[in-house]
């Protein structure tokens, strides 16, 4: 099913980051997968449902397990929930159950998929794109992300400070006059390429840079990995672009944070 590609790839992206850090941890609990980067930024100390949940009682149990785990480590954390893994009863009471366990609703993100992105409607914007490898390129990627996702720069750098993360979390910067102004990243997993960290500095938006960088990354994935199917979680700002590129919504990812 399409939603499973979204759920598996999302989890894999967090696992790559967690595995790259000395403070990171991967663990499987009954019905719950943990991928904790051990960072200040709570969104990257993450829990995921690994099997479907039918009732609100069972959902509460699946929240308690990671709550105890992260509490023992003194970490703030987040639960990333693919709503198609929830049965009707669990889905109706989902937000109430999380709130009773001390987790607030943070955001809902459409989970989208494209078997193959559509050709661009016109010429792509001219922007110089490089895969991130050097320290300066990493700094540029983190700077764009911190500005666009409203996260302190030291939090963002902490998430991506493990040198191994850049091998499987393939990140790309788009440059204008030598300055990194747009980013995208890709992760292989769940029989698809996951697209993450699509962002452009505010003063450079509405010029087509994000699409150009994203297409560059997807072309490299098709060439190097032989995978054309791709998934992503959209923000409201990116929804129109992704639909134009051929993505369709197949699920919803809800995020709850401690």
Whether residue 118 lies inside any domain: the answer is no
Whether 182 is in a domain gets the answer yes
% residues pLDDT > 70 (the chain): 100
The percentage of the chain sitting over the pLDDT mark of 90, rounded to a whole number, equals 95
How is residue 149 annotated by DSSP? Answer: T
How confident is residue 190, by pLDDT bands cut at 50, 70 and 90?
confident
**pLDDT for 143:** 98
Model confidence at 204, in pLDDT bands (50, 70, 90)?
Answer: very high
Q: Where are the beta strands (DSSP E) in 3-57?
A: 25-29, 32-36, 45-49
What pLDDT, on the 0 to 100 scale, is given for residue 133?
A: 94
Q: Does residue 232 share a domain with residue 171?
A: yes
**168 and 105 part of one domain:** no
Q: How many structural domains compose the chain?
A: 2
Q: In terms of domains, do 80 and 183 share one?
A: no
| Residue 121 within any structural domain of the chain | no
pLDDT tens-digit series, residues 8-50: 999 999 999 999 999 999 999 999 999 999 999 999 999 999 9
CB-based burial, 109-133: b 16+ in 10 Å, e otherwise: bbbbbbeebeeeeeeebebebbebe
Instruction: Please give the mean pLDDT across all residues of the chain.
Output: 96
Give domain status of residue 146, yes or no. Answer: yes
Q: What one-character DSSP code corresponds to residue 55?
A: S
Residue 164's pLDDT is 85
- Nearest-angstrom CA–CA distance, 147 and 50: 32
pLDDT of residue 161: 85
Domain residue limits at 48: 2-112
State whether 106 and 182 are in the same domain: no
Strand partners, 133: none
Q: Are residues 212 and 247 in the same domain?
A: yes
91 and 148 fall within a common domain: no
What does the pLDDT look like over 68-122, one tens digit per residue? 999 999 999 999 999 999 999 999 999 999 999 999 999 999 999 999 999 999 9
Of the residues 52, 78, 112, which one is the last residue of a structural domain? 112
Domain endpoint, select from 59, 82, 112: 112
- Given a cut of 80, is residue 167 above it in pLDDT? yes
Residue 2 in this model has a pLDDT that exceeds 90: no
The CATH number assigned to the domain holding 219 equals 3.40.630.30
207 and 172 in a single domain? The answer is: yes
């Amino acid at each position: 099913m399409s939603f499973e590609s979204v759920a598996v790839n999302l989890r894999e992206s967090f696992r790559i980051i967690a595995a790259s850090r000395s403070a990171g941890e991967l663990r499987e609990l009954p019905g719950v997968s943990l991928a904790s980067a051990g960072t200040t930024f709570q969104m990257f100390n993450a829990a995921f449902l690994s099997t479907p949940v039918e009732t609100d009682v069972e959902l509460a149990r699946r929240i308690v397990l990671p709550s105890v785990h992260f509490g023992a480590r003194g970490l703030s954390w987040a639960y990333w929930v693919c709503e198609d893994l929830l049965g009707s009863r669990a889905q109706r009471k989902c937000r109430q159950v999380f709130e009773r366990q001390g987790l607030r609703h943070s955001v809902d993100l459409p989970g989208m998929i494209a078997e193959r992105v559509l050709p661009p409607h016109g010429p792509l914007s001219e922007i110089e794109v490089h895969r991130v490898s050097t320290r300066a390129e990493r700094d540029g990627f983190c700077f764009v992300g911190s500005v666009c996702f409203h996260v302190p720069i030291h939090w963002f750098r902490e998430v991506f400070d493990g040198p191994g993360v850049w091998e499987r979390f393939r990140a790309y910067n788009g440059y204008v006059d030598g300055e990194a102004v747009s980013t995208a990243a890709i992760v292989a997993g769940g029989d698809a390429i996951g697209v993450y960290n699509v962002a452009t500095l505010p003063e450079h938006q509405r010029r087509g840079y994000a699409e150009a960088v994203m297409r560059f990354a997807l072309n490299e994935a098709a060439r190097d990995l032989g995978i054309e199917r791709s998934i992503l979680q959209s923000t409201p700002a990116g929804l129109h672009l992704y639909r134009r590129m051929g993505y369709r919504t197949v699920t919803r990812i809800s995020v709850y944070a401690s």
